[in-house]
Amino acid sequence: MKGMTVIVKKVTQFMAPVIFIFGIYVVLNGHLSPGGGFAGGVIMASAFILQILANGEILDKLRKEESGLEFLESTAILGFLVVAALGLLLSGSFVFFSNFLKQGVIGELLSAGIIPLENIIVGTEVCAAIATIFIALVVFKDEVTK
Amino acid sequence: MNAMIPLFVIVPLAAAFFMAILGRFIKNFSKILLNLELLFLSYLALHFILNTQGILAYRVGGFENAGDIPIAIYLVLDGLSRLILLVISLIGLLAAFYSTSYTRQFTQERKYYILFSLMIAGMNGLVISGDIFNIFVFLEIAAIASYALVAFGIEKQQLEASFKYQVLGGMASLIILLGIGFLYWQTGTLNIADFSRLPVSGPFVKLLAIFFLVGFGLKAAIFPFHSWLPDAHSSAPSPISAMLSGVLIKAIGIYAIFRIFFSMFALSYEIAMVITVLGTLSMIVGGLMAIGQWDIKRMLAFSSISQMGYVIVGIGIGMILLATGGSKVIAGFSIFGGLFHLVNHSVFKGLLFLNAGAVEYATGTRDMRQLGGLAEKMPLTASTSLTASLAISGVPPFNGFFSKLIIIVAAVSAHFYWLAFIAVVVSIITISYFMKMQKYVFFNTPQTDYKNFRAIPLPMNLSMIILALLCLLLSLLVLPQIRDIFITPAVDALINSLQYTAVVIG
């Protein structure tokens, strides 16, 4: 895949980190404001996608990253399940998905127990999954058009 | 005790992602983990059947009901779901054990086992789920895993079959989701028990019933919606065909239909009649289509449509009797026949697909015209296949005879004489095409000299032997003592469907 012009590359270089940080913000504030793990994860993945579109020539390097992304994705899902299943053990009454951490004050960043934790995990998983899907599609198109 | 209910979903999901992480570093990790997982699930299901009774409800997240409105996601375990869970885990275990040798031909074995485990998680989740939206979510997990598994060999025919399956399966999911949307819009609840006590009636309920019947009917491959099944079930790897035909269409199709129409909607004569008529048509059409097939697995797939017709007819007669206030004893007898045939079908159809897989593994083809004389070369496959063929055709003393007999007797005592007559005729058709298969594959003079003949490995043989023994042993389920443990609770769960609401909302 070919890259785009210098202008696009330069603008992307400025924009991608901002988009990524905004994604992290949406994930971390998932329990306080609209958004959350899924939406934030998609925003984070869109920063990667922007980079790939602008700098198409890095695609060959990315093929090797695919298995790493798959690893990250599986680990995140497993982490989600582990946090949910810990509720079975820690809640005292064997409740799956129980909120076993301290709830804190409503409206503060560190509150709502396991929900921010699960949001971070969902964000990681969605970011890795969307990036994997995108890379797979680009690689597929690359191979078909060859 | 209740605390162990979520394990039915946690264990297969966790196992799937452990395979994804560790499977690439450790050789044979995925194979062993899948077998251990299914062994554990079989034990758990058996444990629940033997040691618990009645309806168990579990609230995920531990949210209490607000007044009498259920907020939490409910997991519900009643007699019917216990029976289906046992069938899923047991057939899954044997198919997974068979896979350990069968999948050596694939390059991405690990992904096969991950998808297998996800499919189990989806089916288990659907069966224990107590609200309609989670039924949809788990249905999609199981269905999407099965789309990928059908295409696993990535040859042209398999990709085409998988695509067809995906398009029709996607339509079914869309229709179900539309139905769920309507339901939530009108009533504001998704909980099955909560919905069943609402005083809704009129065209809205009929519309919902049609949506769900069409959606889940597509998944169950009932007659006008069956066109995807012969392609998908014959193209998949053989252990997966055994899972799809033996378990998947029952868990995400038949089980969902009867859970919805018994526990959620009030029984109505019209719906019961529609279900029974569609079941009868599937019985006839599947049987007639199977006669002309030359591909072994394609014939078995058509036969699945026909045999699922028996299950639907058995339970459908019970539904009609319950809806019209007929005899509860005959209704119970008829439902027992249907569920008994469901269990039996998963055993012998699973076995027949494993046999077909063994024949393909040994000779490289599954076209009956190119085979013959295999009874001498592979005696174990031949004898187990004969057992399963006799069982599915309804020859005593195998299990299929008893379940078909019960369905036919129930039809006669409910005064559906034509239905009983059709069931007998279809049974004769069944025996004719299975005898055709036996003759062409195992007994004819060989058409080739089998140059690339491969011996069948031990795990494959062992799975087939255990299933063949089950074909014989399951006949014992007609005895009242054994029936009361395994199937009677499931029949009671369907007949006393009002109890479901009472216990869950309680």
Encode chain B (506 residues) as per-residue pLDDT tens digits: 677 888 899 999 999 998 888 888 888 888 899 999 999 999 999 999 988 888 888 888 778 777 777 888 888 888 899 999 999 999 999 999 999 888 888 888 888 999 999 999 999 999 999 889 999 999 999 999 999 999 888 888 889 999 999 999 999 999 999 999 999 988 888 888 888 888 777 788 888 999 999 999 999 989 888 888 988 888 889 999 999 998 999 988 899 999 899 888 888 888 899 999 999 999 999 999 999 889 999 999 999 999 999 999 999 999 999 988 888 899 999 999 999 999 999 999 999 999 999 998 888 888 888 888 888 888 888 999 999 999 998 888 889 899 999 999 999 999 999 999 999 999 999 999 999 999 888 888 887 777 778 888 888 889 999 999 999 898 888 888 888 888 888 888 888 877 888 887 76
Q: Which chain B residues are within 8 Å of A95, Cβ to Cβ?
A: 59-62
CB contact under 8 A, A77 and B10: no
B62 to A77: CB separation less than 8 angstroms, yes or no: no
C-alpha span between B292 and B299 (Å, rounded): 8
Any idea what DSSP says for residue B460?
Answer: H
- Cβ-in-10-Å burial (0-12, 13-18, 19+) of B486 comes to buried
Q: Which of 1-60 (A) contact B at CB < 8 A?
A: none
Binary contact (B6, A88; C-beta < 8 A): yes
Residue A98 at interface with chain B, using a CB cutoff of 8 Å: yes
Q: Given CB atoms, is A81 within the 8 Å cutoff of chain B?
A: yes
* Nearest Cβ partner for B13 among A81, A94, A97: A81
Q: Cβ of B62 and A95 within 8 Å?
A: yes
From chain A, pick out residues whose CB is under 8 angstroms from the CB of B21: 71, 74-75, 78
Flag whether residue B21 sits within 8 Å of chain A, measured between CB atoms: yes
A145 touches chain B (CB under 8 A): no
- CA B438: distance to chain centroid? 25
Asked whether the beta carbons of residue B62 and residue A91 sit closer than 8 angstroms, the reply is yes
DSSP line for A49-89: HHHHHHTGGGHHHHHHHHHHHHHHHHHHHHHHHHHHHHHHH
pLDDT at B115: 92
Report yes or no: B17 and B454 within 8 Å, Cβ to Cβ. no
**C-beta atoms of A95 and B60 within 8 A:** yes
pLDDT at position A59 is 73
What is the crossing angle of helices B488-495 and B79-102, to 10°? Answer: 130
Answer whether B13 touches A (CB < 8 Å).
yes
Q: How many whole angstroms separate alpha carbon A16 and alpha carbon B38? A: 45
State phi, psi for A8 to the nearest 5 degrees: -60, -45
- Closest Cβ–Cβ partner in A77, A91, A99 for B17: A77
pLDDT at A20 over 70: yes
Residue A68 belongs to a domain: yes
- Pair of tokens at residue B492: 């009671």
Overall domain count for chain A: 1
pLDDT digit string (tens) for B417-441?
999 999 999 999 999 999 999 988 8
Is A23 a member of any domain?
A: yes
> What are the Cα distances from residue A7, in Å, to A4, A12, A19, A52, B391?
8, 9, 18, 15, 73
Q: Is A75's Cβ below 8 Å from some Cβ in B?
A: yes
Q: Does A78 touch chain B (CB under 8 A)?
A: yes
Out of A71, A91, A94, closest to residue B21 by CB:
A71
Q: Residue B1 has what pLDDT?
A: 65
Please report the pLDDT score of residue A61 as a whole number.
75
DSSP letter, residue B103:
G
Which value, in Å, is the radius of gyration of the alpha carbons in chain A? 18
Report the distance separating Cα B234 and Cα B240, nearest Å.
Answer: 10
- Rounded to an integer, what distance in angstroms lies between the CA atom of residue A113 and that of residue A119? 11
Alpha-carbon gap: B121 to the closest alpha carbon of chain A (Å): 13
**What's the structural domain count of chain B?**
1
What range defines the domain where residue B25 resides?
A: 2-505
Q: Which domain holds residue A32?
A: 6-145
Which of left, alpha, beta for B32 (phi over 0: left; psi -120 to 50: alpha)? alpha
The predicted structure's pLDDT at residue A97: 77
The answer to the question of residue A74 being in a domain is yes
Candidates B121, B127, B119; CA nearest to B82 is B127
pLDDT digits (tens, 9 = 90+) for B267-283: 888 889 999 999 999 99
pLDDT at B506 (0 to 100): 66
Quote ipTM for the complex. 0.86
Whether A1 is in a domain gets the answer no
pLDDT confidence band for A1 (50 / 70 / 90): low
Confirm or reject contact between A70 and chain B (CB < 8 A). Answer: yes
Rounded Cα–Cα distance for residues B13 and B16 (Å):
5
